[in-house]
């Protein structure tokens, strides 16, 4: 591990006036850089990217592998479900819809026939009352027999 140690340049025997002025300039530059960093706002994505170094590479690899596997499973399942929905929808349109329409037409025809039959029964029931038949005497034979 690296240890940082601050060395005062005044104690260095070979320091001269040029290096002292450049050291003062570098301190000013350092202060300006530090103050500039405080002005920039760090985004959440930047913070998450910075956390990358905290997680060990083996853990990152395992996590990446598991996420990739889960993604492929979801993609495969979605594809199978999509194919099943496609088959069912197409079958319904090509088979069930015409069959349903034919059954509906047949039900209409049966209802019309039933209505016509009821009308015929109603008219037959009304005929005897509208036109009463005269009773014929039992002993008399109509002419022509």
Structural domain harbouring 87: 55-123
Token readout for 95 is 């088979």
Q: For residues 1 and 56, which has the higher predicted lDDT (pLDDT)?
A: 56
| Co-location of 66 and 89 in the same domain | yes
| Co-location of 65 and 88 in the same domain | yes
| Co-location of 119 and 60 in the same domain | yes
143 domain-assigned: no
pTM to 2 decimal places: 0.40
**pLDDT, tens digit, for every residue of 24-36?**
556 666 566 555 5
| Co-location of 29 and 67 in the same domain | no
Q: For residues 68 and 56, which has the higher predicted lDDT (pLDDT)?
A: 68
22 domain-assigned: yes
49 domain-assigned: no
Q: For residues 50 and 145, which has the higher predicted lDDT (pLDDT)?
A: 50
6 domain-assigned: no
Q: Give me the pLDDT at residue 95, please.
A: 93
| Co-location of 67 and 114 in the same domain | yes
Going by pLDDT thresholds of 50, 70 and 90, the confidence category of residue 53 is confident
**pLDDT, tens digit, for every residue of 115-137?**
999 998 888 766 555 555 556 55
pLDDT of residue 19 exceeding 60, the answer is no
3-state secondary structure labels for all residues of the chain: CCCCCCCCHHHCCCCCHHHHHHHHHHHHHHHHHHHHHHHCCCCHHHHHHHHCCCCCHHHHHHHHHHHHHHHHHHHHHHHHHHHHHHHHHHHHHHHHHHHHHHHHHHHHHHHHHHHHHHHHHHHHHHHHHHCCCCCCCCCCCCCCC
23 domain-assigned: yes
7 domain-assigned: no
| Co-location of 36 and 86 in the same domain | no
pLDDT of residue 143 exceeding 70, the answer is no
Q: What's the Rg (C-alpha) of the chain?
A: 51
111 domain-assigned: yes
Q: Give me the pLDDT at residue 66, please.
A: 97
| Co-location of 116 and 59 in the same domain | yes
| Co-location of 71 and 117 in the same domain | yes
106 domain-assigned: yes
Question: For the chain, what is the domain count?
Answer: 2
Q: For residues 88 and 23, which has the higher predicted lDDT (pLDDT)?
A: 88
Q: For residues 52 and 63, which has the higher predicted lDDT (pLDDT)?
A: 63
């Amino acid at each position: 591990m690296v240890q940082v140690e601050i060395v005062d340049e005044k104690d260095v025997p070979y320091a001269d006036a040029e290096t002292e002025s450049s050291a003062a300039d570098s301190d000013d530059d350092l202060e300006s850089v530090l103050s500039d960093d405080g002005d920039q706002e760090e985004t959440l994505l930047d913070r998450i990217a910075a956390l990358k170094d905290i997680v060990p590479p083996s853990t990152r690899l395992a996590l990446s592998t598991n996420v990739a596997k889960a993604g492929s499973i979801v993609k495969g399942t979605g594809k199978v479900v999509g194919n099943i929905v496609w088959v069912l929808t197409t079958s319904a349109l090509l088979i069930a819809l015409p069959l349903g329409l034919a059954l509906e037409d047949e039900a209409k025809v049966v209802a019309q026939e039933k209505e016509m039959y009821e009308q015929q029964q109603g008219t037959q029931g009304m005929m005897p009352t509208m036109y009463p038949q005269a009773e014929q005497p039992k002993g008399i034979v109509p002419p022509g027999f």
